[in-house]
Each structure stands twice: as structure tokens, then as C-alpha cells.
């Protein structure tokens, strides 16, 4: 079980702020709650920044109290709202953000988000000296330096539940289904959904080049299944960054005589009640962020490795590719006979 690291207090913090940035993920609210309530337990005033970095630039900053985060641990989305802020790519904008925070006498900023959000946080600290710390919140689990991100487990469970339903129709009608899950650059959702949902094959962005080869391989898998007497198949496809890729596979399969239905799960995977796992992860990670700040650490992300919380410098996170577990993909294929 992941536990809160107990660290000596080396820095006095009067007040900190927390924001959510990038795509929302189930469990973000549990993380906000942990930052607020753990902060209060350490006599820190916690401020909530609305609408990510855009709200920060507009000064949308309000004090949060223990009661402000009551009854949110079970809710998906983020009570603070979120966005993807292009303006934060500008150095002058980040300087202005630091001024806004300092004028409010805020000592540090907790950023709950993914790689892009951490880029902003890291540059903010490096350029202005304002302390920032990251908490990984994204359904994609594509952040380097951590084995798990808040929202990933919930998204996988949502997708598996959908596959269980689709399988009823697939087997009743002897159909092939292509189920598209999220993951623009990473196939983690597809991999775990495919393994847990018993998919015949799994298509991930990491293994997608060249496209033609992928389609031939999928087709061969379907044909092998038919030869062994399978009358229905579930193929899990990560959306990747080629719009319409799943439909393309369906069209190619059709040309080879295998009509397939496409079901795109889309944003259904982003919302909903966080699982127990995500609530626990978010609670520990949120509190750990405050703990690290009190310990005098910043410019890094709270990550998890071998069930232990660790602080990973942003320089080892941002822009880094998380290695994909190819073995697991091969294992899924072995089980799909």
C-alpha cells in the first residue's frame, strides 16, 4: 500500500495554492481535498486557483477551507475546473503569474496535471524562483517518473465495463468489434483494458508504425481466431494521434472480408466516480506534495515507484518517454488464443 512519506519539516509555509491543469481525471478532487486538509493540519492557508493557469493569470484565486472540499472525494472532474493554457508558453506570462501569486503572499503552487502542465510549473520555478510541485493527474498514465497517475485506474475500469457490455452483442451476433479507447501518445489504457477485457488483440501508438503493417497483423489475428472457431472478436485500439485510425482499420478489415463495428469510448473514460485505488493514490499524492514543500523540496513531481512515493525532479519528467511494457503486450497476445 502506498503511504505518506514522513519527512522532517525544514521550511515554514504560510500559504500555498493548488490548481488543476490539462485534461480532467477522476481522482483530481480527492487530490485537491488532500492538499487542502493536509495543508490545514500543518497550519497552512490553502488557496484554490480556478481554471488552471488561465484562471491564475486572471487572478481567480480563492481561499479553501476544510468545508470547501467536503463531499468531493467521490466526484469525478475537478471542482477547481481546468484548461489547457497556450498563453503560459510565454515567459512574460509566467513572470506575471509569479507576481500574482506573490501579491497574494502565496509561498508555493501545487499543480495537478500531466506533462504539459509540469512544463509550465517547472519553467515558472526556474525563471522566477517561485516554488512549484507537481501531482500527476491524467487518465493516460503517460507521465515519466511515476508508475501510476491519478485517473488511470478509473479510466481502465470504465473501458473494461464497456467491453463487457459490448462482448454480449459481439457474441450474440458473431461480430468483430473495434473498441477505441483514449491515449493520444500512449497505449497504457489500451493495454490494461485489453488484458482485463480479454481482447483478441491490442493496438497501441507505440507499435503502430508503419500503419499498414498494423492492419495486416490485426487481420491475421482475426483470421487465426476464425480458424480456431472464434465467432466474435474484441480488438482494443488506442486512439493515437491519427484521427479516424480505428475506422481505417475497420475499412481495411472489411476489404479482407471481415466486417467490424467500431465503438469509440471517448470522454466516457474521463468522467465518473473515481475507483478506491485512485482515491487512495490521489489522497496520498496530494498530501505528499505538501509534505515535500514543508521539507524544502520543489521543482519536481510526486511520483510512485515500487509502491513508494518519491519526488522526481521535473527535469527527469518533462518531455521524457515512459518505457512501454512490451512484455505485457506479448503476454496479452498469449492469453488471447
The catalytic site residues sit at 140
Q: Are 51 and 24 within 8 A, CB to CB?
A: no
Chosen residue from 20, 138, 158, 288 binding ligand F6P by CB under 6 A: 138
Q: How far is the CB of 98 from ligand F6P (least distance, A)?
A: 26
Chosen residue from 37, 208, 270, 279 binding ligand F6P by CB under 6 A: 270
If binding is defined by CB under 6 A, does position 140 make contact with ligand F6P? yes
Q: How far is the CB of 263 from ligand F6P (least distance, A)?
A: 16
CA distances from 84 to 54, 114, 143, 315 (A): 8, 11, 17, 21
Chosen residue from 139, 162, 163, 218 binding ligand F6P by CB under 6 A: 139
Toward ligand F6P, which CB reaches closer, 32 or 139?
139
Among 86-94, 135-143, 195-203, 311-319, which window interacts with ligand F6P (CB under 6 A)? 135-143
Toward ligand F6P, which CB reaches closer, 159 or 182?
182
Task: Determine how β-strand 260-264 pairs with β-strand 131-136.
Answer: unpaired
The owner of cell 503572499 is 105
Toward ligand F6P, which CB reaches closer, 270 or 322?
270
C-alpha 179/C-alpha 234 separation (Å) is 7
Sequence-separated (6 or more) residues with CB below 8 Å from residue 15: 44, 45, 46, 47, 104, 105, 106, 107
Site for ligand F6P in 15-34 (CB under 6 A): 23
Toward ligand F6P, which CB reaches closer, 125 or 239?
239
Toward ligand F6P, which CB reaches closer, 100 or 236?
236
Among 59-67, 182-190, 275-283, 300-308, which window interacts with ligand F6P (CB under 6 A)? 182-190
Backbone φ/ψ region at 296: left (φ over 0), alpha (ψ -120 to 50), beta: left
Compute φ and ψ for 61, nearest 5 degrees: -125, 125
Site for ligand F6P in 217-246 (CB under 6 A): 239
Sequence-separated (6 or more) residues with CB below 8 Å from residue 250: 178, 260, 261, 262
Q: Are 42 and 13 within 8 A, CB to CB?
A: yes
**What is the torsion angle, in degrees rounded to the nearest 10, for the CA atoms of residue 150, residue 155, residue 157 and residue 158?**
140
Chosen residue from 12, 14, 184, 305 binding ligand F6P by CB under 6 A: 184
C-alpha 293/C-alpha 302 separation (Å) is 11
If binding is defined by CB under 6 A, does position 320 make contact with ligand F6P? no
Q: How far is the CB of 227 from ligand F6P (least distance, A)?
A: 35
Chosen residue from 26, 52, 120, 183 binding ligand F6P by CB under 6 A: 183
Sequence-separated (6 or more) residues with CB below 8 Å from residue 45: 14, 15, 16, 39, 63
Q: How far is the CB of 332 from ligand F6P (least distance, A)?
A: 20
Binding site for ligand F6P (CB under 6 A): 23, 138-140, 182-184, 239, 270
Amino acid at each position: 500500500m502506498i503511504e505518506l512519506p514522513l519527512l522532517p519539516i525544514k521550511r515554514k509555509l504560510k500559504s500555498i495554492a493548488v490548481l488543476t491543469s490539462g485534461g480532467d481525471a477522476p481522482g483530481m478532487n480527492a487530490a485537491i481535498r488532500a492538499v487542502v486538509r493536509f495543508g490545514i493540519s500543518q497550519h497552512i492557508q490553502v488557496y484554490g486557483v480556478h481554471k488552471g493557469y488561465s484562471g491564475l493569470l486572471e487572478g481567480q484565486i480563492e481561499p479553501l477551507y476544510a468545508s470547501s472540499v467536503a463531499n468531493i472525494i467521490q466526484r469525478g472532474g475537478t471542482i477547481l475546473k481546468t484548461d489547457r493554457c497556450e498563453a503560459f508558453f510565454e515567459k512574460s506570462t509566467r513572470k506575471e503569474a509569479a507576481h500574482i501569486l506573490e501579491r497574494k503572499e502565496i509561498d508555493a503552487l501545487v499543480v495537478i496535471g500531466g506533462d504539459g502542465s509540469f512544463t509550465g510549473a517547472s519553467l515558472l520555478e526556474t525563471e522566477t524562483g517561485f516554488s512549484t510541485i507537481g501531482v500527476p493527474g491524467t487518465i493516460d498514465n503517460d507521465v515519466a517518473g511515476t508508475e501510476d497517475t491519478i485517473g488511470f485506474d478509473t479510466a481502465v475500469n470504465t473501458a473494461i465495463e464497456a467491453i463487457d457490455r459490448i462482448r454480449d452483442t459481439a457474441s450474440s451476433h458473431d461480430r468483430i468489434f473495434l473498441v477505441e479507447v483514449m491515449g493520444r501518445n500512449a497505449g497504457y489504457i489500451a493495454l490494461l483494458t485489453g488484458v482485463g477485457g480479454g481482447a483478441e488483440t491490442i493496438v497501441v501508438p507505440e507499435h503502430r508504425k508503419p500503419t499498414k503493417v498494423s492492419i495486416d497483423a490485426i487481420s491475421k489475428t482475426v483470421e487465426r481466431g476464425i480458424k480456431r472457431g472464434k465467432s466474435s472478436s474484441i480488438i482494443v485500439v488506442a486512439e493515437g494521434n491519427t484521427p479516424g485510425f480505428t475506422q481505417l482499420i475497420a475499412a481495411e478489415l472489411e476489404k479482407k472480408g471481415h466486417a467490424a463495428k467500431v465503438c469509440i469510448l471517448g470522454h466516457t473514460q474521463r468522467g465518473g466516480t473515481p475507483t478506491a485505488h485512485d482515491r487512495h493514490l490521489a489522497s496520498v499524492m496530494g498530501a505528499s506534495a505538501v509534505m515535500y514543500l514543508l521539507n524544502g523540496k520543489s521543482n519536481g513531481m510526486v511520483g510512485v515507484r515500487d509502491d513508494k512515493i518519491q519526488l522526481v525532479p521535473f527535469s527527469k519528467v518533462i518531455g521524457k518517454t515512459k518505457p512501454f511494457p512490451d512484455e505485457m503486450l506479448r503476454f496479452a497476445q498469449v492469453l488471447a488464443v
